[in-house]
Structure formats: C-alpha cells, structure tokens
Amino acid sequence: MQRSPLTRPSLLFQIRDAENKQAWNQFVDIYAPLIHRFACRSGLQDADAADLTQEVLQSVHGAIGRLDYDPQRGTFRSWLFTVARNHIKNFLKRQSRHPRGTGDTQIKRVLEDQPVGTDDLEARWENDYEQRLFHWAADKIRQDFQPQTWRAFWQTAVAGQSARE
C-alpha cells in the first residue's frame, strides 16, 4: 500500500510561530476535520468531538515548538494520531466515572485499552487524512474552473459516473 504524502515540513515549521495565523488556519483546515471524525468514530457525540478537537489542537500548539520532527523516526500524522487517541482515551475514562449507559462496545474497547485494532484505527486515520487532503486541495482549486466544468470533473473523476450520465 502506498503511503499518503507527508505533512509538509514547511507547514510544521511555520506553525511553530504562534503568531503565524495563515499557517495555523491552514493546519486547522486540514487536521481539525480529521481529528473530529476520528473522535466521532471512537464513539464521541458531535459536541464532545468538537471539544476534544480543540483540546488536541491546543496540545499540538503547546508541543510543536518542542517537537523534533524527523520523518525517519515516524511521521507527524502518526504522532498526531497518538495524541488524538490518548485524548480520546482520557476523555472516555473521565466519562466512565459518570456513565451514560450507551452500551457502546467501541467505547468499552477503548476504555479497556485493548491494543487490538490499533492498526485498523491508524489505517482508517490515514485513509481519512487522504480524503481530507483531497477535499482540501479540491476546494483550493475549484474557484479556478467554471461551475459546469467543475461539476463534470467531479461527477466523472470523483463520483465515478460515466460521461454520458
């Protein structure tokens, strides 16, 4: 399986500067939906997933200056996956003190800290990243095309429809 593209080192360097709003906006545009979706897939409700996404982004903000990024040791996304997964585990453990009685086995598995499925979670994380990056890039170039041209491209190249349809 081909690995998805690495997070641009230049973006990681730029977000070390907390005042670089453009870099942070780009980072948040790419990664916040990924974190949010991961949290929802882990059993969190939408509002809780939104709060958790903010917590993860705050953790990144606080740690990015100390992060010694070396792609040979691991990807940034793997590190971010671990940060997000740990935040989810901690959130669910806090919630378990006041259970809501959902009976969700996915939550139970995370709470029990079973290593089973970690590879599946990370593979899903990578797939979600690729989808998010594609949609982010598509949004950036969409304005360069006429609406009819864009629709034709989207319907044939993305939605898989034939040109006749």
- Cα distance between the two ends of the chain: 32
Nearest partner of 50 among 31, 28, 33, judged by Cα: 33
pLDDT class of 116 with cuts at 50, 70, 90 = very low
Residue 1 falls inside a structural domain? no
Does 99 map to a domain?
Answer: yes
- The pLDDT of 149-154, averaged and rounded, is 87
Which residues span the domain enclosing 147?
Answer: 9-158
| Cα gap 80→101, rounded to integer Å | 30
Of the candidates 50, 53, 34, 56, the residue with the CA atom closest to the CA atom of residue 124: 34
Instruction: Give percent of the chain above pLDDT 90.
Output: 31
- Counting the structural domains of the chain, the total is 1
Q: Are 86 and 59 a contacting pair, CB within 8 Å? A: no
What is the CA 5 to chain-centroid distance, rounded? 14
d(C-alpha 29, C-alpha 8), whole Å: 14
Asked if the structure places residue 100 within a domain, the reply is yes
> Tens digits of per-residue pLDDT, 92-106?
888 877 655 555 555
